[in-house]
Amino acid sequence: MIYATNLEGSPYRHIFEINSAFEDVATSFTREFCSLLGLSAESPLYIAVTAGSIALPRLIKYTTYMKEKKTEWTTENELAFETPLPQSMVYHPIFVCPVSKEQTTEQNPAMMLPCGHVVCRDSLHKIAKGSRYKCPYCPTEGHLRDAMKITL
């Protein structure tokens, strides 16, 4: 209030500079909005490059190992290993059932079969005959009761 008539002479004049204040408010709103949606406020390109950099050493190790064993990567569009990312880089996890091509919900959750393959509950019940199923991705057969619900 002392500098109300002389903002130019105030040591706090940067607070009243319109461009800076607007950018601060815009950044704050963006962060809050993204936070509410469970999304990152960072640029998607930055996140993708950073996650790729974290995964790169494992990828190199894996491809070197596979080359030595003369084995090929057979799973299309999917890494054959987990890449642990920091919690700050984990957002809004979703799972799309590879059988029904639909996103899982609380009513139709992802179910992991004992072989490690995951499908949604509805798909699992559709492929089941009675209480038994055959995994749509490998020769494994099993009981519906052995499938585990996955919480995302």
Interface pick for Zn ion out of 115, 128, 144, 150 (rule CB under 5 A): 115
Interface pick for Zn ion out of 137, 142, 144, 150 (rule CB under 5 A): 137
Calculate the alpha carbon distances from 18 to 11, 12, 15, 26, 27 in Å. Answer: 16, 13, 8, 12, 14
Residue with smallest beta-carbon separation from Zn ion: 135
Provide the token pair at 20.
């800076």
Note whether 9 and 3 are within 8 A (CB).
yes
CB of 136 to Zn ion, least distance (A): 7
Position 25 contacts Zn ion (CB under 5 A): no
Site string for Zn ion, 63-102 (x = CB under 5 A): ----------------------------------------
Angle formed at CA 29 by CA 43 and CA 94, multiple of 5 degrees: 50
Provide the token pair at 127.
């492929």
Strand partners, 118: 112
CB of 69 to Zn ion, least distance (A): 22
Position 117 contacts Zn ion (CB under 5 A): yes
For Zn ion, give the closer residue by CB, 63 or 140: 140
Say which residues have a Cβ less than 8 Å from residue 46's Cβ, sequence separation at least 6: none
CB of 50 to Zn ion, least distance (A): 32
CB of 113 to Zn ion, least distance (A): 5
